[in-house]
Chain A
Amino acid sequence: MLSQSSIGARSRDVFGLRCLPGECVLQRTVMVRKKLTAREGRGWLSGTLFCTHFRVAFVPQDCPKADDNSDPILLGDHDIALASIEKVVAVGPNRTKLVTPNSSLKFTPEELVLYCRDMRVMCFLFDRLTPDAQVLEITYTIAKTYQPLKPGSVLAFQNGALGSVEMKQFLSNRHRDSHMNWFESASDWEQELERCGATSWRVSSVNDRFEMSNSLSRFIVVPQKVLDTELKKSFAHFNEGRIPRWCWRHPRGSDLLRMSSFQNNIYHEKDDIRNLEMVLFGCQSSLCVVVELGDELPSPADIQLAHSRLRALCLGDISSSVSVPDDKWLSTLEGTHWLDYIRSCLRKASEVSCLLRSGHLTVALQEVEDRDMSCVVSSLVQVMCDPHYRTQHGFQGLVQKEWVMAGHRFYSRINYHRDSDKEESPVFLLFLDCVWHLWFQFPSRFQLTDDFLLALHDSVHLPLFSTFLSNCQRERCKRSQNVGQLYTPVNGWRDMLGPDSSSDTSDPPLPPVWDWALQYSRERRDGFVQPVAPTPPLQPLLNGNLNTNLDTHRLADAGPGSVFLLSRGAFTCPANLPPWRSGGSGAYRKSHRRAMSCENVPGLERLLKAWALTELPQNTATTSGPKGPLDPYEPLLPLLMGPCMSLWRECYLRGALHAQAFSHPVSTNRPHPVDRLAQEVQQLQNQLDQLSPHAAPDSLTVTSDPRRPDTNLNQSTNNSTFLYSALRPKTTPSPTSTNQHTSRGPTSASAPPPRPTRDGPKHSFLFGHSAVAETRSDPRYHPPPGATKLPKSNGSSLTS
């Protein structure tokens, strides 16, 4: 052990590595080169390799020294947590060897390859000048300290990373991101109801003590008119008590619900049926469509198998030397079925989106357990339909709502402890890939970027976050209450009750994954959102009833009357259709499916057909073209044909060694020109902001120095206000610039803020959308104070 942490210093430099409090450097090797991926610009980077008891760290030679007083960051840009290492392979002159804790090497490695769980492959090359002893030592050290996941090791890892006194203190003092909705308290849910304009729903605390359902969250959303007493009777009729709950409301008045399958083994009273109906139809919708998710979607076991095949294919493991030859790549990729599963999820979500779009119906997603594919589908539907969920904070809220609080079994599905192999299934990763596909096909409709998805993907493999270390809210609460338990997640509602009590526990408090500042550097986090937000305006919906004007053509098209009658007959007629009367859910499902597909329900048929039609360019043109006010809630319907399903190369083929035919430094890809362009646009805009208001007064009396504090003052109070107020004067230009305005004609009017003078959004794609977006959605772009009421879209935190 080379060094011990000194108490008191929050973080220190040890041989150039900025350690976390309490982190020990176990081994250090100089003159190492790290192979860079295509995204990083390819080529090599030389520096020093470290192994601590928490991570393998690489510090490039000329990396700037970080500010000593800044907060610790768990992983630098080139670091890997020990827990995410899956395999260590040493490459010698003529051979490769898998290095295990017990193995001894008979050669000095020239190259060290670390295969990670998150599908990165890190490759370190030792120079001839690297001392042999150091090379061997670090190889052994890494092999001994990286922890093949097993029950005990995760805790040791957590302690290693977060267990020091300073770290605990630091973690317990961190504030939660208030720009996202955590869906933990009743008010969180009410806020969402208000955002969606779902007025006929209410938050019920009937499950406050998890007595009704173990796996549901404490608060659930049910129709206004259903009383808690009536509600209580419904729980027994659903698997695990997961009754139909509200998830989201389409602005056209449709509601999205999810529920588990019906319990058939208990006696049902007539009242129960009535209660169920009330829950399903509680809000003005007269038509309910139950979407059974079991039929066409992969099972968790399917997903697990597909993912493990995909891993094996993409990593191209040199130690096992069974790499798929290049000419079989396509068929092998097809054989994993991963892309098929993504397609079926996206297709299902597209169907549901189209149903919802038609307005005034209730779509209830039903899955046996309601804890896997319904998470995928319900959140995909919301990403497709609601621009809010395509922002970083909105998306984080969505994951909280549909996954964390809804009780997706992260803990079992990720299988950190390797004690639930049968349960293991990367359902969440499948979901991330689906979102990536949407992003890939509609990049400009997202505020978040693929970088963000990638970061989230990688964090899943790090057993440090309370978000992923429990199966449901009840478990999380239990853990945080029980002092001395294995985990003490900083979470939720307890925080709000008072100061966290975790300081008396011996185990570290676990942060939520959304505390990105803990994980990634500022530069990396900057890449999580698009520099110029392109999405349509995210105005909060006041009452959720956009349908008044939008629905006209749809209503004529869908024929609500007929749909209402037919489906009501098929789904809700108490005489024959309550599922528990007709002999089991199988029969129920059958009848439901018949209703969905046969000619009996032409209206529904037509809704789904409408989806097929939107794949034709007519509608594509209307959704993406610049013409007319674009409906922000028009779902993003992805293309799902074979050639459109692409592989998330930036994720799965990140480290693939076979990709490096020649490794010459090529910096072409970095930074991405779009980013640079956007940055430049912003720089210019900032300069403009600085110049235009100050130009006149400054020029007479002051130099640039007095201007400085002025700017800083503004920025420190609220950057966005600064930007906005700074922009104002331009619309009323100073006398001198009036000349320019007139001489330049209409073009000058399109300078930011561009909209007021031009007539409406039909003019241009950029100014029609992003200009609006700039003012509203991207926090770094002068949101007008008061334009948005919700705190999440008024995020000065990003800039401060």
Chain B
Amino acid sequence: MEKSGSVDSLGSKPSSRQPSVDSLSSTSTSRSDRSAQAKPPSVLSSDSVSTSAEFSPELRVKPKATAKKAHRDSDKEEPQLLPNETVQDMAYDITYFCPFTGALRGTVMVTNYRLFFKSMDKDPAFMLDLPLGVVSRVEKIGNASNRVDSSYGVVCKDMRILRFSHKQVDDTLKKSIFEVLMKFAFPVSNGLQIFAFEYGQVFPENGWKVYDPISEYKRQGIPNESWRITKVNDHFELCDTYPSTLVVPVNIPDEDLKRVAAFRAKGRIPVLSWIHPESQATVTRCSQPMVGVNGKRSKEDEKYLQAIMDANAQSHKLFIFDARPSVNAAANKMKGGGYESEDAYQNAELVFLDIHNIHVMRESLRKIKDLVYPNIEDSHWLSNLESTHWLEHIKLILAGALRIADKVESGKTSVVVHCSDGWDRTAQLTSLSLLMLDGYYRTIRGFEVLLEKEWLSFGHRFQLRIGHGDKNHNDADRSPVFIQFIDCVWQLTRQFPAAFEFNEYFLVTILDHLYSCLFGTFLCNSEQQRLKEEIPKRTVSVWSYINSQLEEFTNPMYVNYSNQVLFPVVSLRHLELWSGYYIRWNPRMKPQEPIHQRHKELLAKRAELQKRVNELQREVTNRSASSSSERAGSPTRSITPVQTFV
């Protein structure tokens, strides 16, 4: 009974999975199996459960095979709980107002990890499985005229708003289940622990070992004659938002670094992100210089940038990319910041990339949300989309990253990238240009390294930007900077469908766990905080989960163009809204064809045929070798031209 395994195997270890080759070549890899395979390791939100071709859990309908099973299990109300997940409250007779199918009556269960709604009104049963980390706020919808029912709106960070209502509780002492929900949805505000610290799942691979800065720099050929690894920030004394391992020019001693740090905002000195294996042109990142209204200068900083330029013998120029619009950069002078003047920095050319700040981005995405959820107005869809400016922002970011990549690759020139603090736009730009420049980062593990390095270790403030477990939903520090970056990556995968080892589902999964608080990866604001909280010890890394079932996230069409630099077309005409993420809740947006599935099966078929050809080849060679030695080579020769590219 392969099919029924889908439900039974919930919660089973991924290690029990078949070796990948076998599961690929098995003809029974049907859709239901796939979703079943996707489920076990974490029993996450249904978001992550759905198959790679479709990401909408809202109306999760189990594939037919499992649906039958669901009937039998219909008495089993609860979902399989995660390790250490405990039920906090349950309530019956709750109405969920699904914007697509109408009101549904069912049961709500709140655990310390999720909200689970199940309605038997529909066949198959309708289920809603929502990790509490996704909840942005819960609001009671006042309805004076209706004293009998109380309504709640659950606003989610992933573009949804869920509406529930239930009968007014007679017993005034008993809390509504949504009050309970609020308590567990915002553990940080309520003095509770984020669920990631309790989640005890063990995975065969330890995702915390994915990124090791020393070996990553070694992969790039560092240290070398121009760059060295410094331990000056070992105890985060130089800069508390930077990682402990930094790469700086060889001829700048650690004392000078401290003086440079004094001149850079938050002490974020220019450090190496990436070095071109041939031209030695580098991508370095930092924060804005503390120029101020008086146009302060720093000899050390100037010398430092000169050293960066000198480290690259190919060019006598250095490009400084300031991600901000020039107006904003100038306005920062009032706050003591600013930008490098070309007088002070000889041979440096400053370029503004006109990317707006986190507040503009937040507002833009909010407009997208209004546009796509729950209903979409068809007649003015494109002009409405235009008025959100979201794609325009995407374009500017991609264009900026493209210019950086072009300068490094074609101009063989080193670049310095910064914005104000160097943890939002800078992270977007460096990581995108690295994706374009280095094929390693386009593999699954490489991408994980890229995120760990450019985002996590260099202190993108995930806690502040996402607000894990924090009820303060209006916090001005929240912003979808990381989502925007993943969107840009998605745009790249659209233009270069074969250049990335991961698929769309991988990106969606990362975003889902950005919010879910199931894994520790995206908690805290910096490496220092993560060490202090002992995150790697006390939580599970999302990469443990992902790397334990890589085939779910693998792009079957991947071709390893490791030495190819990707230059995307950044015109708006070639960008699209990522409807597979933003509009995935709408059942009418479901992709019609599981195209990945077909690709996978083609791969499986090829693997199988290849295997068979090899076997037969061996057989033929053996026989001909035994019969006559002079003909031994011929059968193989006629067979060789198949090249393998995956």
Question: Could you tell me which A residues sit within 8 Å of B by CB distance?
Answer: 38, 326-331, 333-335, 339-340, 343, 441-445, 532, 534, 615-618, 620-622, 624-628, 636, 638-646, 649, 653, 656, 658-662, 664, 666-669, 672-674, 676-678, 680-681, 683-685, 687-688, 690-692, 695, 698-700, 703-705, 736-737, 740, 746-748, 750-752, 754, 758, 762-767
Contacts and interface: CB of A to CB of B under 8 A. Distances in A.
A641 B588 contact: yes
Contacts of A642: 376-379, 381-382, 385
Nearest to B622: A699
B572 A666 contact: no
Given A620-B592, A764-B28, A662 B612 contact: no
Interface residues of B, number: 103
Given A643-B381, A659-B571, A681-B605, A625 B631 contact: no
17 contacts: A330-B572, A615-B588, A624-B593, A626-B31, A641-B586, A641-B589, A644-B589, A653-B573, A662-B567, A680-B644, A687-B639, A703-B631, A747-B26, A763-B30, A765-B30, A766-B602, A767-B605
B597 A765 contact: yes
Given A615-B588, A690-B638, A747-B26, A766 B32 contact: no
Contacts of A638: 592
Nearest to A445: B593
A747 B496 contact: no
A688 B380 contact: no
Nearest to B377: A642
A661 B570 contact: yes
B402 A692 contact: no
Given A443-B593, A641-B588, A751 B65 contact: no
Given A326-B392, A681-B602, A747-B27, 13 more contacts: A329-B386, A441-B593, A617-B590, A624-B594, A641-B378, A673-B559, A681-B605, A684-B612, A690-B638, A691-B616, A699-B623, A704-B634, A740-B615
B574 A659 contact: yes
B256 to A, nearest CB: 37
Closest 4 A/B residue pairs (Cβ): A642-B381, A766-B601, A699-B623, A334-B382
Contact of A691 (B59, B376, B613, B627): B613
Nearest to A695: B620
A47 B29 CA distance: 49
Contacts of A685: 609
Contacts of A704: 631, 634-635, 637-638
Interface stretch (B127-135, B259-267, B576-584): B576-584
B535 interface: no
A677 B557 contact: yes
Contacts of A442: 592-593
A664 B410 CA distance: 9
B341 to A, nearest CB: 29
B30 A684 contact: no
A532 B382 CA distance: 36
B144 interface: no
Interface of A is mostly: helix
A697 to B, nearest CB: 10
* Most B Cβ at <10 Å: residue of A326, A330, A340, A746: A330
A469 B161 CA distance: 57
B610 interface: yes
B21 to A, nearest CB: 9
Contacts of A737: 615-616, 619
Contacts of B574: 649, 653, 659
A751 B645 contact: no
Contact of A326 (B571, B594, B619): B571
A768 B386 CA distance: 43
A661 B569 contact: yes
B609 to A, nearest CB: 4
Contacts of B385: 330, 642
A747 B593 CA distance: 25
Given A628-B64, A680-B606, A441 B592 contact: yes
A636 B392 CA distance: 34
B573 A684 contact: no
B27 A699 contact: no
Contact of B386 (A328, A627, A639, A764): A328
A662 B497 contact: no
B30 A626 contact: yes
A616 B122 CA distance: 13
B592 A684 contact: no
A641 B593 contact: no
B609 A751 contact: yes
Interface in B593-637: 593-595, 597-599, 601-606, 608-610, 612-613, 615-617, 619-620, 623-624, 627, 631, 634-635, 637
A745 B623 CA distance: 24
Contact of B589 (A639, A674, A705): A639
B499 interface: yes
B121 interface: no
A699 B586 CA distance: 60
A765 B642 contact: no
B383 interface: yes
Given A659-B569, A662-B402, A747 B608 contact: yes
A740 to B, nearest CB: 6
B378 A763 contact: no
A713 to B, nearest CB: 17
B513 interface: no
Contact of B383 (A331, A624, A627, A649): A331
A109 B152 CA distance: 68
Interface in B524-578: 556-559, 561, 564-567, 569-574, 576-577
B610 A627 contact: no
Given A639-B592, A641-B588, A767-B27, A625 B64 contact: yes
Nearest to B558: A673
B442 to A, nearest CB: 11
A691 B619 CA distance: 10
A460 to B, nearest CB: 23
Nearest to B123: A618
Interface in B26-44: 26-32
A627 B63 contact: yes
Given A616-B588, A690-B638, A661 B617 contact: no
B612 A688 contact: yes
A538 B622 CA distance: 42
Nearest to A660: B569
* Most A Cβ at <10 Å: residue of B101, B586, B609: B609
A591 B43 CA distance: 56
B262 to A, nearest CB: 38
B124 to A, nearest CB: 8
B391 interface: yes
Nearest to B496: A668
Interface string B372-403: 10001111111101100101100100010010
B78 interface: no
A340 to B, nearest CB: 8
Contacts of A683: 641-642
A692 to B, nearest CB: 6
